Amino acid sequence: MSNEKDQRISDKFDNKDWNEIKSNDSWAIFKIMSEFVEGYEKLSKIGPCVSIFGSARTKQDHKYYKIAEDLAFNLCKKGYGVISGGGPGIMEAANKGAHSAGGKSVGLNIVLPFEQHFNPYVDDDKRLNFDYFFVRKVMFVKYAQGFVVLPGGFGTLDEFFEAITLIQTNKIAKFPIVLMSKSFWDGLIEWMKTVLLETNNNINKEDLNLFYLADTVEEAVKHIDEFYQQYLLKPNF
């Protein structure tokens, strides 16, 4: 594997002629376009959904797996569908909960070197495979009426910060973002308050209101529902 990585780095320094550059980039553009088109066609019909994020490494006997499953179940009973990354761990739990509730269960899978596969709880007609992370991230945001972020790693943090950045910069309309498990997120939130805000003034105080901390499924579902009740909207709008 290290030799393969070394070769990929070396290839970046190779001189390429214009025809080779143009040919490679043109095919990449068409591939990117095809992923956007397929995503738009399939997801434009799913109705209101909540995207649920968390670690792919979470085992079925872990408390966060059970929380994600219960959360998805209760969201679907309220009329929402569920979007996940389509893989194992928290993603599987989210799709399992949605499937058990008879709700819409969407999986946006990413093609990775270690071959992540769809979990068995994604609806057959709502499975999408992506080569490009940035296309997949657009789908998570564009077709969700809310985010719920459970404990996870770099990918989970990436989705969380992507969402609050887009809302903070007014690139998208505000929607509810819930961080599940206060004990997991407390250290990050404290760092935001003390280092980002108080010490360096890198964010505004109001930016800390772009997300909501919850410890229970009931709190998370209530927060999302109350957000839309302010606008006299329901999940089946």
pLDDT confidence of residue 237: 44
Cα dihedral 116, 215, 78, 235 sign = negative
Architecture of domain 17-229 in this structure? 3-Layer(aba) Sandwich (3.40)
Q: Kindly report which listed range (2-6, 53-57, 66-70, 122-126) carries the lowest average pLDDT score.
A: 2-6
pLDDT digits (tens, 9 = 90+) for 148-178: 999 999 999 999 999 999 999 999 999 999 9
Of 9-13, 26-30, 124-128, least confident by mean pLDDT is: 9-13
pLDDT tens profile 189-234: 999 999 999 999 999 999 999 999 999 999 999 999 999 887 666 5
Given a cut of 90, is residue 188 above it in pLDDT? yes
Concatenated DSSP letters for 32-91? HHHHHHHHHHHHTTS-SEEEEE--TT--TTSHHHHHHHHHHHHHHHTT-EEEE-SSSTHH
Q: What is the mean pLDDT of the chain?
A: 90
pLDDT digits (tens, 9 = 90+) for 55-74: 999 999 999 999 999 999 99
- Do residues 155 and 124 make contact, with C-beta atoms less than 8 angstroms apart? no
Amino acid 12: pLDDT: 54
